[in-house]
Amino acid sequence: MDLDQGWSPAVRARAREAGFGSRMLPYRWLRHLEQAGRREPFLAPAHLQALGFILQAPSPGNPDGLPVGMTLTRATRRQPDAWAGLGCAACHTGELRHGGQRIRVDGGQGWLDFTAFERAVIDSLSATAQNPVVFERFADALQTPAGQRESLRAALVERASALEARHRLNASDVAYGPGRLDAFGQIFNTVAVEVLGVPGNRRPPDAPVSYPVLWSAPHLDLVQWNGSAPNAGPGPLIQNVTTALAVYGHARVPSRGPGYASDVDFKQLGRLQDDLYHLTAPAWPEATLGALDSERIARGKPLYDTHCAACHAPIDARDPRRRPRAVLTPLADVGTDPRMVRNFLDADARTGPLQGKRARVVAGAPFGERARSIDLVAHVAIGVALRHPLASVRDTVRGYHRVAKASLDTHPDYYKARPLDGVWASAPYLHNGSVPTLDALLRPAAERPAYFQVGHGEFDPQAVGVATAMAGGWRFDATVPGNLNSGHEYGTTLDEAQRRDLLEYLKSL
Ligand code: HEC
Ligand code: HEC
């Protein structure tokens, strides 16, 4: 079931289907691909579900019933064949299960196991190329004439090795599991290694973070878990271009003319951005998860005001003009796992072909031999955005250095506190997803579970969050650096009754 989050059914459908130019493999292939070692379609519902995709029925915009966020490129004259890839909704749509019901949460944390999905695609492509029986079945399904089968096989091998190279580039000692990805670590590698063509720039992306919830994000002044990205001016466009490059996008650097050529679909990105602006937090569905207790909520509110509101200021989540502010909290104060923010600050790389180019393409000092990885990413994203079809947008992109200045040039070690509207639906908690429930977050770190199962989707309405007693899913290990569940010890000295009151209030946000 869907909750009311300010989107009409039509907007909801297009947001779940919209692609931004992500090109992982030709869709014709994907349709006929089998799972590696099994005579079962790759797109079999059970297989997709095991990888963390949310299934959906066919619709006019999605006639083959692809899962939420598995997207196709739009046909162009130069590239008439659609490619399959991932859209925003693959990571940013949640599904909670309770009492046999499934609750869809648009803009919520998805369970996609990014690493497992990538691995499965590579293994299927390789198995198809290597196993003659599987290959013939595949080529028959594609109706490939005999004379073209060897080139089909070569194309499979080529695609598998390109994806394998990307997969190895992003190998990490800290496994991501469902619902997480080291987004900055991977985009740093995409830009510094792949786009610039400098293999020595590789850094392990070993600080996976949760897919954050997106309602209210477009209204915030700063986004990303460390608050490093400004939302002013062309900020969202630059962020979206960055994402598009990270998620099987391509940019050609350097390329002729102003800015850099890419496969980014600006039209779709613009529409997605507009749609996201109207998305609101889901309200606790009392019919499915149980009635809220108004007396407890009334007692919880002053506790919230005392212990939480200084950093998580309450907002009117339905006000279309809300302007929530992210409260940047120093690492030394919040005390959560430092790795994400440290990697972000420490990463630098050889500039290769960008040496001598201005840091913000049309502004800033020229790059020397090395630069901070985030500046290289910003440079490439600005360059790509300078190819936006609208002149007015290109003009705002030229001014990006002004809004980016404060956050990118002098960004110290912070995590951001965001408004908590819809927080009941965004478990597991903290940037690294290390705390399964709100109840656990309101206890001292030493009392939070060191291990729990995640990705099964089962919701616990009492503790509010991931049902930890489930057998299925993936085992989260909060003792591994990168996964630590330390810090954020706010409201952790409340007594049992107070904690329940505060929890009830949080459910109502
Ligand atoms: C493969 C998974 C994935 C896809 C696809 C994806 N994102 Fe994200 N997104 C993430 C992760 C992970 C982060 C957190 C990055 C960080 O802060 O370190 C994030 C962060 C964000 C944020 C910042 C939210 C906040 O409050 O800090 C926004 C906004 C966002 N994404 C929008 C989008 C849009 C729009 C798209 C499609 C153009 C998209 N994302 C596609 C994984 C994804
Ligand atoms: C001093 C500032 C501060 C105070 C006070 C504070 N928080 Fe936070 N909160 C943060 C920061 C910073 C983060 C992000 C930390 C991270 O992800 O590592 C955060 C994250 C959270 C999250 C996780 C959000 C998500 O999407 O995963 C929840 C839930 C939360 N806070 C609830 C509370 C509650 C409830 C209180 C009061 C008992 C509270 N906070 C008090 C700063 C604060």
Spatial contact of 377 and 211, defined as CB atoms under 8 Å apart:
no
Q: Cα separation of 212 and 205, whole Å?
A: 18
End-to-end CA gap in the chain: 20
Q: Cα separation of 279 and 281, whole Å?
A: 7
Q: Cα separation of 501 and 284, whole Å?
A: 16
Distance 323 CA to ligand 1 centre (A): 20
Q: In this structure, which residue's CA is closest to atom 30 in ligand 1?
A: 214
| Ligand 1 atom having least distance to the Cα of 182 | 12
**CA 115 distance to own-chain centroid:** 13
Distance 490 CA to ligand 1 centre (A): 27
Distance 417 CA to ligand 2 centre (A): 6
Residue 305: how many CB atoms within 10 A of its CB? 12
Say if residue 501 is exposed, middle or buried (CB neighbours under 10 Å; 0-12, 13-18, 19+): buried
| Ligand 1 atom having least distance to the Cα of 114 | 1
**What pLDDT does residue 189 have?**
97
Give the closest ligand to the alpha carbon of residue 115.
Answer: 1
Q: Which of 86, 91, 106 to mutate to test the pocket of ligand 1 (most atoms within 8 A of CB)?
A: 91
Number of domains in the chain: 1
Q: What residue has token string 């779709």?
A: 268
Distance 308 CA to ligand 2 centre (A): 7
Give the closest ligand to the alpha carbon of residue 374.
Answer: 1
**What pLDDT does residue 409 have?**
57
In a domain, 436, yes or no: yes
> Taking the CA of residue 112 as centre, how many other CA atoms within 13 Å lie in the half-sphere pointing to its CB?
28
In a domain, 344, yes or no: no
Distance 335 CA to ligand 1 centre (A): 23
Q: Cα separation of 297 and 170, whole Å?
A: 45
Q: Is 369 left (phi over 0), alpha (psi -120 to 50) or beta?
A: alpha
**What pLDDT does residue 169 have?**
96
In a domain, 472, yes or no: yes
Which of the 8 DSSP states describes residue 456?
S
Q: In this structure, which residue's CA is closest to atom 3 in ligand 1?
A: 91
Spatial contact of 188 and 377, defined as CB atoms under 8 Å apart:
yes
Say if residue 18 is exposed, middle or buried (CB neighbours under 10 Å; 0-12, 13-18, 19+): buried
**What pLDDT does residue 406 have?**
55
In a domain, 249, yes or no: no
In a domain, 464, yes or no: yes
Residue ranges with strand state E in 427-501: 451-454, 459-460, 465-466, 474-477
Ligand 2, CB within 6 Å, residue ranges: 225, 307-308, 310-312, 329, 333-334, 336, 415-417, 420, 423, 426, 429-431, 438, 441, 488, 490-491, 506
The pair of structure tokens assigned to 443 is: 């206890």
In sequence order, what DSSP letters do the residues of 264-308 get, joined into one string? --HHHHHHHHHHHHT--PPPP-HHHH----HHHHHHHHHHHHHHT
Q: Cα separation of 113 and 465, whole Å?
A: 19
Q: Which of 437, 441, 490 to mutate to test the pocket of ligand 2 (most atoms within 8 A of CB)?
A: 490
The pair of structure tokens assigned to 245 is: 């490059």
* Neighbour-count burial for 245-279, b at 16+ CB within 10 Å, e otherwise: bbbbbbbebeeeeebbbbbbbbebbbbbeebbeeb
**What pLDDT does residue 213 have?**
97
Distance 96 CA to ligand 2 centre (A): 22
**What pLDDT does residue 410 have?**
64
Ligand 1, CB within 6 Å, residue ranges: 20, 86, 88, 90-92, 114, 181, 183-184, 209, 211-212, 214, 217, 223-225, 240, 243-244, 247, 269, 272, 418
Q: Cα separation of 187 and 42, whole Å?
A: 27
Give the closest ligand to the alpha carbon of residue 229.
Answer: 1
Spatial contact of 405 and 399, defined as CB atoms under 8 Å apart:
no
In a domain, 381, yes or no: no
Residue ranges with strand state E in 122-257: 180-181, 209-210, 222-223, 229-230, 251-252
In a domain, 443, yes or no: yes
- Where the chain has pLDDT below 70, the residues are 405-410
Distance 88 CA to ligand 1 centre (A): 7
In a domain, 487, yes or no: yes
Q: How far from 265 is each of 36, 230, 397, CA to CA, in Å?
A: 31, 22, 16
The pair of structure tokens assigned to 191 is: 């830009």
Host domain of residue 433: 292-329+420-507
Closest of 318, 316, 243, 234 to residue 278, by C-alpha: 318
Distance 45 CA to ligand 1 centre (A): 25
Q: In this structure, which residue's CA is closest to atom 28 in ligand 1?
A: 214
